[in-house]
């Protein structure tokens, strides 16, 4: 489980292994992490994750576990055995589920970082009301971010738009992993409310999840290097 200094996580959303590996072979493990989600993991299984680790990449296994505490803890244990760098679960699975998962990971000498999804950004106020959550999505995001922190997890996945307020509420020592990032002048694709890499870092993001601006670029390595440069510039200007 190598850890790179980069704050970029490249989302591998490909229907086929060969296409994914073609892209991966153009990237460098020292310049990014890789995210494997439900589609690729379900099609290709743990062997695919191992093939990325063998190439030296730190992998975020984005399977968003949500089940009874023992089952989620066992799934996290299995992910840790695979040697991944980061895993996630749904905070709405509750405190006991999160605490049990975190405790199970402590058995691992090199434990993966464990982060939670609060409220999916695809859900509107009406959607969450229908499943029994009161208040606005933002209110629920903050409540679940606090719960995640008090359950001892490492951080949350959130919109870069929420990052500043969550950072102010929960403090510095908490990872904010943010998708919805687009370099200036890049296509928004199906993302609605995007931020540039520099803006997301300035808002308090710890890691940026970036897919198509890198995976669909004519020169993926150049696109990744440019995003890393934007991140560095934003970090340096914040330190001034």
Q: Active-site residues: which are they?
A: 62, 64, 67
- Smallest gap from Cβ 213 to ligand C5P, in A, equals 6
In DSSP terms, which residues pair with 90 in a beta bridge? 117
| Residue 192 DSSP one-character state | S
| Residue 217 DSSP one-character state | S
CB-based contact 92:64 (threshold 8 Å): no
Helices (H), the chain: 17-24, 38-44, 46-54, 69-81, 95-105, 125-130, 137-150, 160-170, 197-202, 212-215, 220-239
Give 73 or 158: the residue with its C-beta nearer to ligand C5P.
Answer: 158
- Smallest gap from Cβ 106 to ligand C5P, in A, equals 27
- Smallest gap from Cβ 107 to ligand C5P, in A, equals 28
146 burial type by CB count under 10 A (0-12 exposed, 13-18 middle, 19+ buried): middle
- Smallest gap from Cβ 69 to ligand C5P, in A, equals 24
In this structure, the number of other CB atoms found within 10 A of the CB of residue 152 comes to 14
Give 129 or 188: the residue with its C-beta nearer to ligand C5P.
Answer: 188
Biggest alpha carbon–alpha carbon distance for the chain: 46
CB-based contact 54:21 (threshold 8 Å): no
Question: Which residues are documented as binding site?
Answer: 13, 35, 62-71, 121, 182, 191, 211-212
- Position with the least CB separation from ligand C5P: 211
- Smallest gap from Cβ 91 to ligand C5P, in A, equals 14
Q: Which of 168, 174, 58 is nearest to 114 (CA)?
A: 174
Give 6 or 100: the residue with its C-beta nearer to ligand C5P.
Answer: 6
Question: Which residues are documented as binding site for substrate?
Answer: 13, 35, 62-71, 121, 182, 191, 211-212
Give 13 or 139: the residue with its C-beta nearer to ligand C5P.
Answer: 13
What is the radius of gyration, based on Cα positions, of the chain? Answer: 17
Give 37 or 94: the residue with its C-beta nearer to ligand C5P.
Answer: 37
* CA 68 to the chain's CA centroid: 22
Binding site for ligand C5P (CB under 6 A): 11, 13, 37, 121, 179-180, 189, 191, 209-212
Assigned token pair, 28 = 């460098």
């Amino acid at each position: 489980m190598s850890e790179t200094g980069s704050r970029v996580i490249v989302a591998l959303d490909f229907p086929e292994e060969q296409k994914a590996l073609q892209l991966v072979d153009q990237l460098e493990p020292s310049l990014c992490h890789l995210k494997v989600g439900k589609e690729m993991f379900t099609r290709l299984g743990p062997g695919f994750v191992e093939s990325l680790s063998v190439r030296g990449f730190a992998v975020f296994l984005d399977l968003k576990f949500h089940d009874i505490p023992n089952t989620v803890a066992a799934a996290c244990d299995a992910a840790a055995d695979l040697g991944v760098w980061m895993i996630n679960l749904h905070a709405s699975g509750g405190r006991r589920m999160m605490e049990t998962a975190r405790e199970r990971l402590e058995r691992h000498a090199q434990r993966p970082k464990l982060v939670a999804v609060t409220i999916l950004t695809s859900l509107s106020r009406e959607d969450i009301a229908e499943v029994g959550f009161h208040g606005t999505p933002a209110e629920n995001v903050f409540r679940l971010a606090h719960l995640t922190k008090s359950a001892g997890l490492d951080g949350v996945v959130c919109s870069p738009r929420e990052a500043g307020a969550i950072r102010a509420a929960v403090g510095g020592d908490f990872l904010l992993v943010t998708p919805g990032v687009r370099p200036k002048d890049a296509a928004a694709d199906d993302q609605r409310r995007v931020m540039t890499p520099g803006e997301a870092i300035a808002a308090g993001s710890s890691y940026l999840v970036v897919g198509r601006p890198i995976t669909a670029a004519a020169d993926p390595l150049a696109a990744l290097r440019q995003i890393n440069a934007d991140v560095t510039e934003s970090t340096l200007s914040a330190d001034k």
